[in-house]
Copies of this chain bind each other. A is one copy, B any other.
């Protein structure tokens, strides 16, 4: 089984796949009489012509490292944001697309205080917390289409940190 090492999540490294949502640097706006910074509109949301935004709650079982990545998926009709509701590191896996096939798998460690938004159609692994509670708010497309393609990786890939 081939192995990849998860890298720290940065805006630059993640740019081909999506957005990093975090309170880093100066806020775009200071509100509430100076008590609150707003980093404004940081996600490229795209739910297509027939979809709309929704907020769902995901609770996922923690996984252990090395993580065996044997399946990636993509949502052709919409972006998908994972917002952790705890201050824990978790794992994100992504891939490039080559004619409908995921290639060049990469893994990132998301640190406390970061959320991510996958751009529409980006290959990614399922939600992968590394510790309890594995609780996330998810902003994704609500609509009538299946909006899911899966691709089984054979052989699987071991992801370490």
Contact = CB atoms under 8 A, between A and B. Distances in A.
Count the copies. Answer: 2
Interface stretch (A8-16, A52-60, A93-101): A52-60
A21 B137 contact: yes
Classify chain A: how many residues form its interface, as a range: 35 or more
A127 B85 contact: no
12 contacts: A21-B57, A21-B137, A23-B135, A35-B126, A38-B57, A38-B138, A40-B54, A42-B55, A57-B115, A86-B86, A113-B133, A137-B137
Interface of A: 21-23, 27, 31-33, 35-43, 45, 52-61, 63, 71, 81, 83-87, 112-113, 115, 117, 126-127, 133-135, 137-139, 142
